[in-house]
Amino acid sequence: MLIKPNQALYRAIEGHVYAIVIVQYSILLCIGSSEAINQIMNFHSSFEVLKTKSFLLLVFFLIASQSSFAQSNKAIDSLMNVLKTAKEDTNKVKTLNALGLKYWHKGNYAEAIKNYLDGLKLSEEIGYKVGMARAYNNIGIIYDDQGKTDEALKNYKAALKLSEELNNNRGVAACNLNIGIIYSDQGSFEEALKCHLTSLKIFEEIGEKGGTAAAYLNIGADYGHKDNYDEALKNYLAALNIAKEMGDTGLIAFAMENAGEVYTSLKNYPLAKEYLINALTLAKQMGGIELLRNTYKGMARMDSVTGNFQSAFGNYKLYTAYKDSMINESNNKDIAQMKEEYESEKKDKEIVQLESDKQNLENEKQISALMLKTKQDSLSVVQAENDKAQLENERMQTLNLYNQQQMTLLGNEKQIQQLQLEKDKSDYAVQKAEAEKNQEQLAVVEKEKSIQTLELNKQRQAKNFFITGLALFAVLSFFIYRSYRTRQELKLQTLRNKIASDLHDDVGSTLSSISIFSQMAQAQSKEVIPALQTIGESSRKMLDAMADIVWTINPANDQFEKIIMRMRSFAYELLGAKQIDFEFDADDDVTKTKLPMEVRKNLYLIFKEATNNMVKYSEATKAMFTIKNEKDRFSMMIRDNGKGFDATKESSGNGLKNMKKRALEIGALLLIDSMPGNGTTIKLELAA
Amino acid sequence: MAIRVMIFEDNQSLRESLYQLIHGSEGFTCTGAYENCSHLLENIYKNKPDVVLMDIQMPGINGIEAVRMLREKYPDLKILMQTIFEDDDKIFQSIYAGASGYILKNTSPVRILDFIKETYDGGAPMSPTVAAKVLNMVAQHSPKTKDFNLTGRESEVLVCLVKGMSYKLIANACFISVDTVRGHIRSIYEKLHVHSKGEAVATAIKSNIV
């Protein structure tokens, strides 16, 4: 389930959780489980992280650890239960031993020893020598922990003797190892070394790696105490090898740490650093406080020897921190132990107290019994009086009862009324609910109706849209068709134009060449050959005509303005060649005149003919062109100062006849006014 | 010294006739007559003509494009466009591209030689239609092209040209000599060329050729 607690609540819980954590920490410290301590320490550092996650996770964690705390108690309880009904046999011994171990882990040495001793006694009774040896060993360990070396040694030796009797090599080796440690603690390093070498030999023989490594480590330590660092190193490295073979990280770290220390003593600082750092890494992985403490101490020492005082200080601080926590641990262990002892003492005291209290009570009882007897006599008199009082009491009681019953009745009535009220209320609520339901149903029906109407409207709209769309489509397609047709026509027109121009180009060029050749031929000949002249002229005339046709086909030239321009150009070219000065007068209004194509074409052709004639025959030096549009009368006039000709004579060649024909075609009036020696005027008039 | 003329014309008869005409006339020599412009620059480079007769309508590179190409490399080369009919647009485009002038194909042979000579001398005949177009452009101040900066005189001459007045008449009307008229017309052309040249330069700069 995911809850998002509000801020205030969260903060309160957070504080509460933190409090639990602190209590947890102290409790676990009392247990003295370094592993648990590490857990808590890790937990602390990750507390920040956990805060962001669901706090329930947090609480679960705590509850779990709480239960593990409770579990050891539970285990003890369960063991004790077993003991209650156990038979006097080796199993009971084993149970007692296990119980002792549990108490030892908790730091409750008193209880531990008690159980071990019970185990020892039972083992003796049933002749279970293994059990005896084990008990002696374990007791020895406790005394060792407490620093009571003589007691420890005594027990270890007892264990050793039994192991030798039993030919238990492993036991012998282990006992020698422990005894050696005691000697070392007492400062007898030679003795210690002897025992450890014995232990090593046996462990190697039976091929127990763990024991061998431990032996090597201890031998190394012994040599170290004797300042024989080379030997110490050799043994430590041997231990390290075995530890690596075993893959026991804790052992590896331990061996490395010790080797590092020796290297420091040997002043081989690079190797010392290497080993110590490796040891530290492993120690951090393992999280063993003792290991960490030792490693930091080793590193601090090496740093200070090599002059890295800042680093040394840092490592020393860490060493102190771990040492203190261990001291706290051991102190707390002691405290716990003392507490336990105190508790048990207290309990004993309480038992004694209770017993004496019990006794006191008994005495008192007797006394009061005696006193009662004397009182009893004087009591009978009082008895009668009491009876009377009692009757009175009974009467009062009955009255009270009656009153009570009345009250109860009233109360019941009230309850009934209340119930009735509630029933009415609920009835009313039901009615209301029904009414609301009806209303909602009505609303639903209305909504359905409106939906239907909307749908109908939508349908109608859709239909309209469809019709409109169809209409639009029809219109659009019509236009598209139209434009398509137009484009087609345009394409056709363009094609026509292209054909025309290509044709024109080809034909025209050839015609032009004919003209040139004829000219050249003439030039080459000594005499005048009229035929050549004709050839040249004809070809040029054809060229001209073609140019005109192509020009008029071109729809771009439909405007009258363009025709005027063409006239101008024509005059310019033709007259320019003959050096005839001219003026071309066509004002802007005229150019805007709208004339049908037939008219335009004929006008132009007439103009051309007239101009050609002028240029050919008139020998004029000046010419005047005027095109006007006055009062809806369109007029074109061409005048020159040439020699003129006799207009009345019909035989004037095709030119004049053509002009007349053309003028007639467009319904225009053509006036030719010419007198020999007086120039020529050709005038065209048209009703616009 | 003979005027060196080169011909580009796709019609065979015309090409041959022109060649013979020019080559056979005194004062002229034809350095080459080609069917198309595929080896345009090579030909020009090899033969170094003074005047080029360029047909507008040719297969492959058309006349107007050829003019553009030539103008970039040979700014002083005289190019006369030949056209069969007065397609005002094409004419104007050729001049805009840098042609020195144009002649109609139906011009009589004598006139052709006259025109060539006139062009060679620096003249540049302009027909009224072309003049009108030029005026139009100037009047519009089309945003694409720069101003032509025609002087007042030049505009006057143009207007007269549009009216179709001969050089002599223009000279009278404007109270200047015929030579001056010619000079004005030439400068008008040059302004068109410069304009087209200017565009060429602009393009070059844009494409980092310069």
3-state secondary structure B5-63: EEEECCCHHHHHHHHHHHHHCCCEEEEEEECCCCCHHHHHHHHCCCEEEEECCCCCCCH
Contacts with B57 from chain A: Cβ below 8 Å: 501-502, 505
Do A546 and A653 share a domain, yes or no?
no
Rounded average pLDDT over A553-559:
74
Angstroms from B71 CA to nearest CA on chain A:
25
A253-284 tens-digit pLDDT: 888 888 888 888 888 888 888 998 888 888 88
Burial class (CB in 10 A: 0-12, 13-18, 19+), A69: middle
Question: What is the per-residue pLDDT for A16?
Answer: 57
**A486/A506 same-domain check:** yes
Calpha distance B58→B7 (Å, rounded): 12
Asked which of A530, A556, A582 is the last residue of a domain, the reply is: A556
pLDDT (0 to 100) of residue B56: 87
Helix (H, G, I), strand (E, B) or coil at A643: coil
Burial of B40 (0-12, 13-18, 19+ CB in 10 A): buried
Confidence category of residue A28, pLDDT binned at 50, 70, 90: low
What mean pLDDT do residues A76-81 have? 81
φ and ψ of B52, to 5 deg: -120, 130
Classified as helix, coil or strand, A634 is strand
**Shortest CB distance from A568 goes to which of B17, B128, B169?**
B128
pLDDT under 70: residue ranges of chain B: 85-88, 106, 125-150, 162-164, 191-210
Tokens of A553: 């086909």
For the four alpha carbons of A646, A647, A650 and A653, in that order, the dihedral sign comes to positive
A576 plus A670 within the same structural domain: yes
In a domain, A505, yes or no: yes
A551 and A568 belong to one structural domain: no
Same domain? A482 vs A599:
no
Residue A656 belongs to some domain of the structure: yes
- Whole-angstrom Cα distance, residue A169 to residue A533? 150
Backbone angles phi, psi at A561, to 5 degrees: -55, -45
Q: Rounded to 5 degrees, what angle do the CA atoms A88, A91, A96 make? A: 85
Which among A513, A569, A584 has the least Cβ separation from residue B14?
A: A513
Say yes or no: B27 contacts chain A, CB-CB below 8 A: no
Higher-pLDDT residue of A75, B181: B181
ipTM for the whole complex? 0.72
pLDDT of residue B207: 36
Say whether A508 and B128 touch across the interface (CB within 8 A): no
* Residue A260 placed within a domain: no
Rounded Cα distance, A40 and A29, in Å: 10
Enclosing H/E stretch for A525: none
- A511, A537, A556: which is the final residue of a domain? A556
What's the confidence (pLDDT) of residue A563? 84
Q: Please indicate, yes or no, if residue A142 is contained in any of the structural domains.
A: no
- Chain A: residue whose CA lies nearest to B24: A520
For the segment A386-413, the average pLDDT, to the nearest whole number, is 84
pLDDT band (50, 70, 90) for residue A302: confident
pLDDT band at residue A157 using 50, 70 and 90 as cut-offs: very high
Q: Which domain, by its residues, includes A646?
A: 558-687
A26-40, A162-176, A475-489: which range is least confident on average?
A26-40
Encoding tokens for residue A295? 């490693």
Identify whether A215 is part of a domain: no
Element at B207 (helix H, strand E): none
| B183/B185 Cα distance (integer angstroms) | 5
Cα Rg of chain A (Å, integer): 68
Which of A502, A569, A583 has its CB closest to that of B86?
A: A569
Give me the CATH number covering residue A653. 3.30.565.10
Q: How far apart are CA A468 and CA A461, in angstroms?
A: 10
Instruction: Verify that A596 and A678 share a domain, yes or no.
Output: yes
Q: Shortest CB distance from B106 goes to which of A543, A583, A585?
A: A543
Kindly state whether residues A608 and A544 are assigned to the same domain.
Answer: no
Residues near A79 by Cβ (< 8 Å), separated by ≥ 6?
Answer: A95, A98, A99, A102
CA distance A649 to chain B (A): 31
pLDDT given for residue A58 in this prediction: 46
Instruction: Let me know whether A641 and A679 are in one domain.
Output: yes
Q: Distance between CA A348 and CA A355 in Å, rounded?
A: 11
Q: How far apart are CA A258 and CA A591, in angstroms?
A: 121
User: Given CB atoms, is B136 within the 8 Å cutoff of chain A?
Assistant: no
Exposed, middle or buried: residue A554 (CB in 10 Å: 0-12, 13-18, 19+)? middle
Indicate if the pLDDT at residue A470 is higher than 90.
yes
| Per-residue pLDDT tens digits for A416-463 | 888 888 888 888 888 888 989 899 899 889 999 999 999 999 999 999
Do A516 and A604 have their domain in common? no
Question: What letter would DSSP give residue B165?
Answer: -
Cβ contact A513:B11 at 8 Å: yes
* A613 shares a domain with A534: no
Cβ-contact A639, A674 below 8 angstroms: no
Scan residues 24-53 of A and list those with Cβ closer than 8 Å to B: none
* Interchain CB distance below 8 Å, A517 and B105: no
Record the tokens describing residue A455, joined without a space: 């749908």
Q: Any chain B CB within 8 A of the CB of A547?
A: yes
CB contact under 8 A, B13 and A519: no
C-beta of residue A341 within 8 angstroms of C-beta of residue A110: yes
Angle at A424 between CA A418 and CA A429, to 5 degrees: 125
Tell me the chain A residues in contact with residue B132 when contact means C-beta distances shorter than 8 Å. Answer: 565
**Number of domains chain A contains:** 3
Do A569 and B168 count as a contact with CB atoms less than 8 A apart?
A: no
Residues of chain B in contact with residue A577, where contact means CB-CB under 8 angstroms, are 108, 111
Strands A581-586 and A633-640: unpaired
Closest residue in A to B169 (Cα–Cα) = A581
Percent of chain A past pLDDT 70, that is, above it, reads 85
Which domains, ranges and CATH numbers included, belong to chain B?
3-120 (3.40.50.2300), 128-206 (1.10.10)
Using a CB–CB cutoff of 8 Å, tell me whether B16 touches chain A.
yes
> A13 in a domain, yes or no?
no
Please tell me which residue of chain A has the smallest CA distance to B105: A512
Q: Which residues pair with A40 in a beta bridge?
A: none
Residues A547 and A562 reside in one and the same domain: no
Q: In what order do the strands lie in the sheet with A581-586?
A: A581-586, A622-630, A633-640, A680-687, A669-674
Indicate the pTM of the whole model: 0.41
Residue A601 near residue A642, CB atoms below 8 Å: no
**Residue where a domain stops, chosen among A556, A581, A599:** A556
The pairing of strands B78-83 and B101-104 is parallel
Tracing tokens 């004419």 back to the chain, one arrives at B91
CA–CA separation, A139 and A131 (whole Å): 12
Residues of A in contact with B84 (CB under 8 A): 501, 504-505, 508-509, 512, 543, 547
- Whether residue A541 is found in the same domain as residue A466: yes
Distance from first CA to last CA of chain B, Å, rounded?
A: 36
Q: Which residues have CB under 8 Å from B182's CB, separation 6+?
A: B122, B123, B167
Vertex A524: Cα angle to A518 and A526 (nearest 5): 115
Nearest to A222 by CA among A188, A248, A245, A250: A188
Contact A165, A149 (CB under 8 A): no
User: Six-digit token pair at A98?
Assistant: 């296990």
Rg, Å, chain B Cα set = 17
Q: How many residues are given for chain B? A: 210
A659 within a domain of the structure (yes/no): yes
